[in-house]
Structure 1
Amino acid sequence: MKNEVHSKSMSRQVILGILVIGMGLLFLADNLNIWDFRRSLQFWPMVLIMVGVFKLFDSNSSDGYILGSGLILVGVLIVLHRLGIIYFSWRAMWPLILIALGASVLYRAVSSRRLVGSSLKGQALQLDDSINATAILGGFERRIHSQDFRGGEVTAIMGGCALDMRGAHIQTEAVINVFVMWGGITIKCPPDWTVVLHGTPIMGGFTEKTVPPPDNSKRLIIRGYAIMGGVEVRN
């Protein structure tokens, strides 16, 4: 588990480093009058494509894959529109966005029903053993009381998520994947948990305000991205 988390963290840093170097080379070429990079700033939707790729790379849930694919699709459509290859208007696009959001809600409802059905059949499943929360242009608050918390995934885009896990317990280690863009995530954890941050801030930040426990037998690992947003972990 530790080696896997470390490997993924290194991979994210390598991708981010390559992107930063690429941007630096483009600006250098512009300063040397080799290429007019400022004119290419009209293709700002490439940022959406980059964020979507980050989300796909860092996600372990279907919601994350859907969100990442959606960001990439929107970015590609806007770029093609600016290149004159295709034409579309937001007036025609917003109904498709509503349909996609509705399909996502239906999928999550069906998945939750299947999970409850499996639990009623006698399988050892707890509904709050893992977290899968997404806040887009809104807020999400939840208290977790699982006695065997195993981690999950939290996404906040132009919104906020607040998790109160002070009544939860973990056996040895739990991993939460976070993705923040123009938003914030706050996580409250018990004082006997050791918090390990493996986040990548991009014009954002990761903050830990916890009291170190006497031992590190229970570890909560936070990894992911904070893009012009913040992640705060405290007791």
Structure 2
Amino acid sequence: MTNPNSTKRIDWRIALLGGHKQRVTGAPADTVVVTPIGGADVDLSDAELPARTTLTKVSLLGGVKLRVPAGVDVEVEGFHLLGGRRIEPAAASPSAPVVRVRAYGIIGGVEVSRA
């Protein structure tokens, strides 16, 4: 599904039971993952990142595990009733690509690691 007013593609991933696992090697699209029960495990460590990429995760149970290259800036927003956020620190330059994680759910958290 794409927005006709935008040239950027949106990649939808839906799993009713179970999670979503993805390793991206090319240029990633903005991604929306919907998993009522299950998490999202996304590896962008070998991806050709544009200036800004967004990963949106919606679930009842399940969090997000994200792996990014060392110099990438990561912004996390969203809400989980139970679950935390662990973002491995990095020294990103002002011109570094930005990966924005939007995670919404009841139980789960966000964990960001670097390659």
Larger radius of gyration: 1
Q: Which residue of 1 aligns with 2:25?
A: 145
Are positions 1:166 and 2:45 aligned together? yes
Tell whether the 8 Å contact from 1:200 to 1:226 is kept in structure 2 after alignment: yes
Q: Which residue of 2 aligns with 1:212?
A: 90
**Greater RCO, CA 8 A, separation 6+:** 2
| CA 1:232–1:136: 2 relative to 1, 3 Å | farther
- The superposition leaves residues 109-168 of structure 1 with CA deviations (integer Å, 9 ceiling, x where unpaired) of xxxxxxxxxxxxxxxxxxxx7542223321322111123x34221223222321111110
Note the 1:1-235 alignment, pairs <5 A. Answer: 131-147=11-27, 149-209=28-88, 211-217=89-95, 218-235=97-114
The one-letter code matched in structure 2 to 1:227 is: I
| CA 1:155–1:222: 2 relative to 1, 3 Å | same
The alignment of Structure 1 onto Structure 2 pairs a total of residues equal to 108
Tell whether the 8 Å contact from 1:156 to 1:184 is kept in structure 2 after alignment: no
Report the Cα distance in structure 1 between the residues aligned to 2:10 and 2:46, rounded to whole angstroms.
14
Higher strand share: 2
- State the identity as a percent: 24
Tell whether the 8 Å contact from 1:156 to 1:185 is kept in structure 2 after alignment: no
- The superposition leaves residues 14-63 of structure 1 with CA deviations (integer Å, 9 ceiling, x where unpaired) of xxxxxxxxxxxxxxxxxxxxxxxxxxxxxxxxxxxxxxxxxxxxxxx69x
Gaps of 5+ in 1: 1-60, 63-128
Greater than 6 Å deviation, 4+ residue runs: none
- The superposition leaves residues 146-191 of structure 1 with CA deviations (integer Å, 9 ceiling, x where unpaired) of 23x3422122322232111111022211111111311222111111
Tell whether the 8 Å contact from 1:181 to 1:226 is kept in structure 2 after alignment: yes
User: Over the residues paired in the alignment, what is the CA RMSD in angstroms?
Assistant: 2.5
TM-score, structure 2 as length reference: 0.75
